[in-house]
Each structure stands twice: as C-alpha cells, then as structure tokens.
Amino acid sequence: MHDKTPEEVFKELNTSPLGLSEEEAQRRISFYGLNEIEERRENLLNIFLRQYTNPLIVILIVAGILALFLGDWHDSVVVLGLVLINGIVGFYQEVKAKASIESLKLLTRQKVRVIRDGAEREIDASLLVPGDVILLSEGDVVPADARLIEESGLLVDEAILTGESVPMEKYSYPVLEKDTPIYERLNCVFKGTVVVRGKAKAVVYATGKNTQMGLLASKLEEKPPKSPLTVAIGNFSKKWVIALIVIISLLVLIGIAQGRDWKFLVFFGIAQLVSAVPEGLPIVITIALVVGALRLVKNKVLVRHLPAVETLGSATFICSDKTGTITEGRLRVEDYYSLDEEALLFCSALCNDSDGKRGDAVDLALLEWLDRIGFNWLSVRRLFERVWEHPFDTRRRLMAVVVKNGSSYDLYVKGALESLLNIADHTPNNLIKMHDSMAERGLRVLAFGKAVLDRLPDSIDSLKIEILGLVGFLDPPKEGVKEAVEKARRAGIRLIMITGDNLLTAKAVASMVGLYRDGDLVIEGIQMAKYSDDELYELLKRVSVVARALPEDKYRIVKVLQSKGEIVAVTGDGVNDAPALRVADLGIAMGSGAQVSKDASAMIITDNNLSVIVQAIMLGRQISANIAKVIRYLLSTNMFEILYNSLAILTGKPLPLYPTQILWINLVTDGVQDKAYPFTKHEGDPFREKPKKSQEVFLGRKQLFYVIYNGIIMAFGHFILFSYLLEKYPYQTTLTISFLSAVVSQWPVGIQEIGSKPFLLNPISYIKLNPYIYLGISVGLLLQLLAMSIFSDFFRVEQLSIEQLGYALIIPFVVFVALEVRKWLEYLYEAYRR
C-alpha cells in the first residue's frame, strides 16, 4: 500500500475516511479472522503424554513391566496404576493452570481507537480488520499494518521490526516505489512498533499473521522464559536427585551384601527415588502463582507476566511517578501570573492538543480554566489555523505551535520555565520569584511564551520568544497515599519519587504525603551525572525525590539499585517510561497509561494509586510465603522416607515400607495435600515484616533447618516404633502399622507448616488460615481406607486391631507435638526480642 495514494488505498480496501460500518467489520472478521498472531499451542494429547516422559516416571513404568514379567502382578498393577493416576492428576492440574493463565491474559488485551460508522470508539485491537480507520497518538503500540492518511509530527520507533535504534519520521503524503524496503516506507506504520511522538490517522491494510510482524513471528518461535524460582528449584532438584541416586545406590549395595533379594532391592530403589523427588513441585508453584494473580486482580492489579508474582514480595525499592500515582493526576489551574494576559489566554487555547474531552491532563486543565473564566477557546481555534507544531519533547520540556495570523505567523510555546528562558530574549523582573513562590506551594508551574514570525520556523532552537506569564496547576495527593507511604516504610521498602517536575514542587508534594522527611535528600536528574554508580547507590539510600528527571535518569537509577542486589519496582505511564519498566524487577504500568508502557511492564494497576502498589507487594509476600511452605512440606516428607528406610537397611532390619507403599504415600500425601497450600491466608501483619530475597525465602538456611528437623523427627520416631513392634508382632503386621503411621504422620506436618505461629495459640484462627488443607486430609483419609480394605492384597497389608491402630497414631501425635514445641520456642523467642 506504500505505492498508492490514500484515495487509492480507500478504493482498494472498499472503505472511506468515515471508516467501516459495524456490520461490515463483523463480516470482515469472519473472512480475515482476528487481528492476532497465533502462538503455537500444545494440544491436549501432547500435554497428557508429556506427563509420562519424565525420566523417573519412565523408569517406574519399566519397573512395573519388569515386575509383571517376573510374575509379581500385584506390584505391577499397583505401580502402573499409580503412574496412570499420577499422570491424569498432573494433566488435569496443568490444563486448569493453563486455562487460568489464558483468562489472565484476556484482562490485559490492547485497546485501539477506531472510526466506525463515522464515529470514534475504542475497541479490542484483536477486532481490527483491513479497511478500519485507526487513530494513533504518543505512546500507542501500532495495532496492525496501516497506510497513513494524516499525521502531525509523527515519530515511530521501529526497532522491534527493523533493528534501527533511531525513531523514524513518518509522513502521509509520499507515494513510494513498489520495491521500497520496509525500513524506508515512510507512509506506513507496522504492527508492534511504537509511536514515540505526534499523532496520526491511518487505514489498516493487514492484520494478524498477514502483518510484517506476523510474517516474522511465523519464522521465529520464541519459548517463554522460565521464572527465577523455577530455575532455582530445577537446579536444586538436580543436586537433590544426584544425592538421592548416590544414597539409594549405596543402600541397595549394602542390602545385597546383607543377602537381601536383589530384584526386590532394585524395585525398592526405584520406588524410593521416584517418591523422594518432588516432581510435582513445578505445577504446585504454577498453581500458587495463578491463585496469587487472581487475588491481585481483585486488588486492581492485572498480571501480564506470571513469574513477576513470585518477585513481588521481595521488593526493596519502589521508584514511583508523581502524577497519577501519588497525586490525583486531575490537574486544575489554581493560580496564574501574567505579563500579557490576553496573549497568555490565547497561548493556553492554541498551544493545546486537547478537544475538551480527551487529552493530556495539563491541556484539559487549561481548557477547563478558560471555560471557567468565560474565554471562548473554540472560537479562537476556528480563527487561527495551526500550520506547524513541535510536539511536547521530554528533553526540551516544551511544546510549540505556529498559527496563521493574516500575512504573518504567531508562535506559541508552553513548558518548563528554565526551558523557555533558554529561548527567551530576556528574563522579566519577578518572574523567577513568582515561579518559586507557586512551586513551594506544591503547584506544578508552566511558563508560556510567544513570538511573531514572517515565515514558518525550521527549528524551535533558532527562535527568540517573549515570556507571557506563568500558570500554576494544583494536583492534590491521592487519598490513602500518605498511609501507604507509612506502611511501605514500616515494611522496610524505600520509596523514591522520580518526576519531571520542578524540584520545589516535587519536594512540596513529597512532604504532603510523608515521603520527604527532615534529613532526606532531594536531587535533580542532571546532578546524577557527577556520581559514579557506587556513589549514586549510597546517595539513593538517602534520597526521597529525584526532580527534573529524564527517562535515562530513571533507567540508570533502576540499574544501579539492581547492581547492588536490590529488588526494584518501577511505576510508569508514558512511552518514555518503557525502558525503565522493561529492565525493572517489577515494571508496573498505569491502566490509563500509554500502551507501550503496558507492554513493557509485568503488571498493570487499574487504579493508579501508590496504595494499590504497596498492597500488591504485601500480597506478593503472602504468595511467596505459601510457595515456601509447600517446598518445606514436600522436602520434609521426602527426607523422612529416605531416612526411615536408610536406618532400617543400615541396621540390618527388614524394610519398614514396601516399594508400592512408598509410591502410594507419595500420591496420598504429597499429591493431595500440597495443592491446598496456595490458598493459605497471611498470618499477622505483613507490613511489619522486612523484605527477604527469594533465595532466602524458598531455600534459605531457616527453610533447610525446618526440612531437616521435620525429616529427622519423623524418621527416628518411626524407626524406634518399628524396632519395638518387630519384637511384639509378626513382620506383616508391623509393616501394616508402619505404612499407616507413615501416611497419617505426614498430615500433622501439612497442618503445622501452613502457619508459623503455634496451633494451640489460637486453634480457631489457625484452622481459618486454610480450611482446604483439612479437605485434602479428608480425601487422603478416604484413599487410605480404600488401600487398607478393598486393595489390601495389592499393598501387602492386613486388618489391624484397635490396639494396633493405636500404635499407628503414636508417631503422628509425636510429630505434631514436636513441631508445636519448635513453633512455641520460636514464638516465645520472638516475643522476648520485641
């Protein structure tokens, strides 16, 4: 379409500047399909089969088949049956988790402004069709390939498509040669590229897989990255498996040396290896993250990148915008100072991109002010046609327009006072004093200027203007922000407000919400250049406000903090925030912000409020704690099984658990109870806790101590009981008691590990922490009854008397008491320290 005029494009696509009718758009969707680049999806059969491709499961299947050939069909049926059930459960959980993740994705779909039936409306970008007329503005991600019809100061970043790092100027008027390469098509915009500056109207000619990005995506399939926690667990699991193989191999060799049946020992070794590896952990972590993401949705936080949920609770710094996050973001003119009042009002009306309903907050506030004082800005705009413009520039901090005024031209400019003084012919008396007076009251102050020209300017830098006056905007702090700042401080999170505002204004606003306190430092972005990274880090630990900050300043702050091990959450809403959002540990975009900032972020908050971010971090701590608890529970039970059997073999006693019983314990305890952990509520006040690094939370020293403590208590308790029962009862009876006790004793571990406070401190409150854990125990109890009765032959168990059942409950009681004592000692120690 680059080789055609806009009129020819309209004709070929059978559309017009008024857009398509809704009826025609629906017809074209059925023909062209949705405007989406389809991801390669794994079909259900592959997901199901993948449950059986784990090397440990394959070994187990081979062992089951081998048992059948050796004539032990009971064991074969149990092993293969458990493998089948485990695969079905894993398949169901994975499919359900994928469905939840897909539903979360739907909440963060891109929206686009489109003209249909001659009226502007906002629709889901996936509903665009060839022939649609779209409207683009700064910060938008281009939703489809389109031919420009109109444009004003349009600058597009096409690095994602062409690799060119310098944004490209775009124009609607050129008609190019048919063989013009992509990177030279000045009159087209392409799906996935970003509008850096300006605005445009364009007609869509390609959607979905037919776009340039779609053609590229079909050649390059990119797998989503694994989360840091998944990688950490994977690395730990590899080491754990190697250690298990060494330990179990030694046990098998010792057993053979003792004269035990080698075939039985090999079968035992395989069963022990499979049970001791927490192969179900990744899916439980995914469930925990999905449950956490759904909870965040209820707290007005949409999750775009699921692994970010696990990092949320570890945040140590929040680098926040001012406007719209700490303040209302709804500006109103509070005060003004004029040197030429009429020209100041004209400048406010003409150097303004708002239509009175939509637009930048500053522009909307100016028009609302003009309406309030009875100035007819619509009539002024009709009289003076805009013929040139310099869109707002974050580096120069100004915007300028030129309007036709008879035979001459009037240039109007608005922006930061220091920016306008750079191109002013002189500095009026009292101007700086009036500016500082407004800024110290927390007002956002803009300066306005004018120049009369005899021709259109080549550049804003070559002009000399006359200052017309100042306008002060009030942007009051949001309700709840002051409390959120205090909560964040109490939780050990440092807040830095990074803003483009004047230093005095920024400091005044920060003081209002308690973010700036006596002793804190306030710096300007330009000052950062004189510090090395190490010096800047030390400075940032005392800084609460960075004023007059450029996007690269924000980016550097994030990188410096990260280099020192800090976990940084960054908020942003504009196209210039995208670099910092992308590199941050937690990029948080505003729901009302530019599409590019949303695409660069891991999360989007629908209520642009700092208090929502702080609350989300607290919820993140709860999610991290739940993941840590399920890791602790699974590793504790795995350690128990390996230690218990090791003690029996090393002391020459018969095995206390039969191989099929070991596999059953893995299904009934680990496979049922662990799925309840993601639903655990938080204990106490998360705002009183300090941030902890993920590695410390999930696999730190304290965590490993708990695992070893729990495993030793269960293993030695069972071994002592088993040794005693061997003297009292036949081996088969002792084996049955041992099997039942091993299953039941893991339930109190599951109960005790859902909370850090003692169970008996407040039993009712403790039970309310997670009622689902008791549901899991109920399911486990039902399954165990089936194993002990209907399937008793398969599991080599016999019916027990009341006395024998009592023996099976001793160690579960001991385990509960031992964990309760540990928690009471910790609770009393913490109370003593406070």
Tens of pLDDT, residues 140-149: 889 999 999 9
Q: What is the pLDDT of residue 552?
A: 85
- The Cα 655–Cα 642 span in angstroms is 12
Work out the pLDDT band at 56, boundaries 50, 70, 90: low
Q: Is the pLDDT of residue 223 over 60?
A: no
Least confident segment among 93-97, 362-366, 393-397? 93-97
Q: Is the pLDDT of residue 340 over 90?
A: yes
Q: Is the pLDDT of residue 803 over 60?
A: yes
> What are the phi and psi torsion angles at 459 (to 5°)?
-155, 150
Q: Is the pLDDT of residue 220 over 50?
A: no
Q: What is the pLDDT of residue 740?
A: 94
Work out the pLDDT band at 225, boundaries 50, 70, 90: very low
Which residues have a Cβ under 8 Å from the Cβ of 111 and sit 6 or more positions away? 122, 123, 124, 125, 595
Cα 632–chain centre separation: 24
pLDDT digits (tens, 9 = 90+) for 547-600: 988 888 999 999 999 999 898 989 887 666 777 888 888 888 877 666 667 777
The residue-averaged pLDDT of 638-661 equals 87
The residue-averaged pLDDT of 176-184 equals 87
Mean pLDDT across the chain: 84
Which amino acid makes up residue 233?
Answer: I
Work out the pLDDT band at 502, boundaries 50, 70, 90: confident
CA atoms within 13 A on the CB side of 380: 19
Crossing angle, helix 262-276 and helix 610-650, to 10 degrees?
Answer: 170
Q: What is the pLDDT of residue 65?
A: 75
The residue-averaged pLDDT of 402-427 equals 92
Q: What is the pLDDT of residue 327?
A: 85
Which amino acid makes up residue 61?
Answer: I
Here the tokens at position 675 are 């799925």
The residue-averaged pLDDT of 155-181 equals 81
Q: What is the pLDDT of residue 224?
A: 43
Least confident segment among 178-192, 271-285, 507-521? 271-285
Give 145's strand partners.
Answer: 206
Residue 221 contacts residue 206 (beta carbons within 8 Å): no
Of residues 305 and 178, more confidence is placed in 178
Q: What is the pLDDT of residue 575?
A: 62
194: which DSSP letter?
A: E
Could you tell me the pTM of the whole model? 0.70
Using CB atoms within 10 Å of the CB of residue 607, give its burial: 0 to 12 exposed, 13 to 18 middle, 19+ buried. middle
Which amino acid makes up residue 572?
Answer: G
- The Cα 35–Cα 110 span in angstroms is 11
Least confident segment among 243-247, 339-343, 491-495? 243-247
Which amino acid makes up residue 325?
Answer: T
- The Cα 368–Cα 5 span in angstroms is 39
Instruction: Give the residue numbers annotated as catalytic, written as ranges.
Output: 321
Q: Is the pLDDT of residue 222 over 80?
A: no
Of residues 1 and 410, more confidence is placed in 410
Q: What is the pLDDT of residue 311?
A: 76
Q: What is the pLDDT of residue 830?
A: 85
Of residues 38 and 453, more confidence is placed in 453
Nearest Cα to 729, choosing from 806, 645, 643?
806
Element (DSSP H or E) covering residue 496: strand 494-498
Q: Say whether 627 sits in a helix, a strand or coil.
A: helix
Q: Is the pLDDT of residue 38 over 70?
A: no
Here the tokens at position 223 are 């797998």
The residue-averaged pLDDT of 342-360 equals 90
- The Cα 561–Cα 629 span in angstroms is 29
pLDDT digits (tens, 9 = 90+) for 256-305: 888 887 777 777 777 677 666 665 666 677 777 777 777 887 878 877 77
